[in-house]
Amino acid sequence: MTVTDTGSAPAETAEPRPAPGTPQRWPLVVAIGVAVVFAVAAAALALLAAREDDPQGDLRAAAGAFGEVLVTYDHRDPQRHREAVLDRATGAFAAEYEEAFDGGLGQLIEQLEASSRGFVKDVYTTEVQRGQALAIVVLDVETTGTSGPRRLFDVYVRLTMIQVEGEWLVDDVTDLSFGADGGGGALPPGADEGATPSTSTSLP
């Protein structure tokens, strides 16, 4: 018996096709994922570029934070103020402030039921030289106590800043606000000790 080859090829298996009206989501998901990655990368690059353009940003931020801490305290918890100041100070200034606080300042805050809050308005800094710089912090200060509420405008505080292991700490503090109501809105003459303030920024 002879088997005859008819030459017919096996039928091709049809690929499954999506039903009409069924959305294909994979391309959209991939596109969104790529867009998110690029957005994150762009934000990171922008942040790095901003820091390179503003090398004294850390200095100003540290000076502003210390200025606010220095004039912010609450008679219900004066120790919190003490610790916040000491955490941002060098050994020399820390020892001086600790002695003053433990020698009567903390007790006086409690006796007068004094509370205070500082609001940083501007920070001026000199150029950094050998890990040191000067900063002048301008604040408004609100106080309350047994003598009643009070608000001081444009209080100037000069800080000697020293960089220790990459962190800016305060080595000396000088009150430049001559008079009870602050400096009147302008940098006092001679406040920079001959160095021209190089940078100014307004802080939130």
Structural domain includes residue 99:
yes
Residue with structure tokens 């039903």? Answer: 19
- Predicted structure pTM score: 0.64
pLDDT tens figures, 58-94: 999 999 999 999 999 999 999 999 999 999 999 889 9
pLDDT tens figures, 137-181: 999 999 999 999 999 999 999 999 999 999 999 999 999 976 545
Number of domains within the chain = 1
Segment holding 204, helix H or strand E: none
Structural domain includes residue 93:
yes
Nearest CA to 171 out of 80, 99, 95 is that of 95
Task: Give me 31's structure tokens.
Answer: 């596109």
Structural domain includes residue 21:
no
Q: 13 in helix, strand or coil?
A: coil
Where does the pLDDT of residue 33 fall: very low under 50, low under 70, confident under 90, or very high at 90 and above? low
Q: Helices (DSSP H) in 54-203: which residue ranges?
A: 57-70, 78-87, 91-100, 106-111
Structural domain includes residue 137:
yes
Q: For residue 177, give the CATH number of its domain.
A: 3.10.450.230
Structural domain includes residue 115:
yes
Q: Helices (DSSP H) in the chain: which residue ranges?
A: 26-53, 57-70, 78-87, 91-100, 106-111
Of 189 and 65, more confident: 65
Domain that holds residue 166: 56-202
pLDDT tens figures, 112-131: 999 999 999 999 999 999 99
Structural domain includes residue 7:
no
Task: Give me 38's structure tokens.
Answer: 């690029």
> What's the mean per-residue pLDDT of the chain?
76
Task: Give me 152's structure tokens.
Answer: 């001081």
Structural domain includes residue 48:
no
- Contacts of residue 122, defined as CB under 8 A and 6 or more positions apart, other chains included, come to 137, 138, 200, 201, 202, 203
